Amino acid sequence: MSPDALLASGGDSVATSLVGFGALLLGLGILARLAAVVGVSPIPLFLIAGLAFGEGGWFVLGVDENLVAVTAEIGAVMLLLLLGLEYSGRELVATMKHQWRSGIYDIVLNSLPGVAFGLLLGWGLLGAVALGGVTYISSSGIVAQVVRDLKWRRKAEVPGVVGLLIVEDIVMAPYLPIVTAIATGAGLVTGLISVGVALTVVGFVLLLSVKRVHFINRLLDANQPVALLLTIFGATILVAGFATLFDFSSAVAAFLVGLLFTGEVAEAARARLAPLRDLFAAVFFVFFGLSTNPADIPAVFPVALALAAVGVATKLLTGRIVAKRAESSERGKWRAGTILIARGEFSVVIAGIVAVSPLAPPKLAPLVTTYVLITAVVGPVLARLAEPWSNWRETRKGDGSVPATT
């Protein structure tokens, strides 16, 4: 059937869906441009747009909910696929060996507040585990943008910060299957089997990547970009779909697919798939906002603000630990802490996995949305103030002269 015939048979519904979805993408493009001009991450703007135009917002867009939901799910999958393509198994193992102490501090300092808040709110095991993950993981995307905008790439503490982010990403591999099993309401035995199978699959793929098994790479040619794009994208969506059928995290499945590709194939795939990731991920963030009723935010705002205040403090402390290991200056410790503050894409992914569960706390989505908005704005702002603040402190301690930037 031709496109025109399809439009004719579908009546105005197809046309309305196209107009609504096109308007949504156009609006996201304008917001992304605005964020680039201001020098901030577009994630908070995408979340706000979702809140503004969803149920209970200022204006309800006439967008096909199923179309947006499927696109948003692909966005979550693409985020993890590109993450997997960034690393090889050997790089992951080497990073874990070097950063495991800092990684333990990071887990304890930043996940326990979320767990504690979840229990105090009476949200049970699922709420506590989910909120612990939300408060734990920093936004790699926002961190990368802050480092790029402030020209901190060559600072002594930045490699340690990047290594810590890799450790956080690795932790997500076993964490997401666990939270998925809890969200499905599986019994103890069933849950243990599900998590055990998931961890076995994760371990097996990591082993293949560490041993540099290249038979999959040989099936593809980096010099054939169209075939490469379609094959990896199609395989990822297929694997994610099967993973969902078996109650396995589609995001983790995508991450594992990414790990299987290395070298020139991975580099070419990243170049081709990055724009698709940005497109689908933007819809993912908007969809999360659309799923949250703005009327629910005032009730959770005090809790989100308190949780964000604790999260800022714990990430600042985590950054100091990382910078100290890198033998960085006092200024470097402030820089490392501030760029870790922002939570973003993976906090929303965790909340999205849990939100569809009948066991999910009803206030989880608005709490996470508010928490991510606060930290995603406060983090970059504090990062810009880190060096002036540390300069002022050093001046107060010294003879009144302003020290050179290090």
pLDDT of residue 215: 58
| Residue 184, both tokens | 């499905």
In this prediction, what percent of the chain has a pLDDT beyond 70? 78
Residue type, 303: V
Q: How much is the average pLDDT of 61-73?
A: 77
* Helix 158-183, helix 188-210: angle, nearest 10: 150
Answer yes or no: is 354 within a domain: yes
Q: Whole-angstrom Cα distance, residue 302 to residue 367?
A: 10
Q: How much is the average pLDDT of 338-359?
A: 86
Contact status, residue 375 vs residue 137, Cβ threshold 8 Å: no
pLDDT of residue 384: 82
Between 1 and 311, name the one with better pLDDT.
311
pLDDT of residue 370: 92
Residue type, 239: V
Answer yes or no: is 395 within a domain: no
Between 357 and 187, name the one with better pLDDT.
357
Answer yes or no: is 397 within a domain: no
| Residue 379, both tokens | 């983090």
pLDDT band at 403 (very low <50, low <70, confident <90, very high): very low
Domain limits for position 212: 11-386
pLDDT of residue 190: 63
Answer yes or no: is 160 within a domain: yes
Q: Whole-angstrom Cα distance, residue 157 to residue 122?
A: 39
Contact status, residue 127 vs residue 364, Cβ threshold 8 Å: yes
Contact status, residue 46 vs residue 28, Cβ threshold 8 Å: yes
Give the count of alpha carbons within 13 A of 404, CB side only: 1
| Residue 56, both tokens | 């209970």
pLDDT of residue 401: 46
Among 117-131, 183-197, 284-298, name the most confident range: 117-131
Q: Whole-angstrom Cα distance, residue 330 to residue 152?
A: 15
Q: Whole-angstrom Cα distance, residue 118 to residue 14?
A: 42
| Cα of 355 vs its chain's centroid, Å | 16
Answer yes or no: is 403 within a domain: no
329: pLDDT strictly greater than 90? no
Q: Which of 77, 89, 86, 83 is nearest to 254 (CA)?
A: 77
pLDDT of residue 404: 45
Q: Which of 44, 40, 20 is nearest to 282 (CA)?
A: 44
Between 133 and 147, name the one with better pLDDT.
133
Between 302 and 281, name the one with better pLDDT.
302
Q: Whole-angstrom Cα distance, residue 362 to residue 135?
A: 18
pLDDT of residue 111: 95
Answer yes or no: is 394 within a domain: no
pLDDT of residue 115: 96
Q: Whole-angstrom Cα distance, residue 41 to residue 377?
A: 8
Contact status, residue 153 vs residue 143, Cβ threshold 8 Å: no
4-18 confidence digits (pLDDT tens): 554 455 556 777 778
pLDDT of residue 392: 58
DSSP state of 392: H
218-251 confidence digits (pLDDT tens): 677 778 888 888 888 998 899 888 877 776 667 7
Answer yes or no: is 94 within a domain: yes
Which residues, 6 or more positions from 262, have their beta carbon under 8 angstroms from its beta carbon?
A: 88, 209, 212, 214, 217
* 289: CATH: 1.20.1530.20
Q: What is the number of domains present in the chain?
A: 1
Between 246 and 75, name the one with better pLDDT.
75
120-145 confidence digits (pLDDT tens): 999 999 999 999 999 999 987 788 77
| Residue 303 CA: distances (Å) to CA of 265, 270, 353 | 46, 39, 21
Answer yes or no: is 158 within a domain: yes
Q: How much is the average pLDDT of 260-289?
A: 84
pLDDT band at 205 (very low <50, low <70, confident <90, very high): low
Average pLDDT of the residues of the chain: 80
pLDDT band at 292 (very low <50, low <70, confident <90, very high): confident
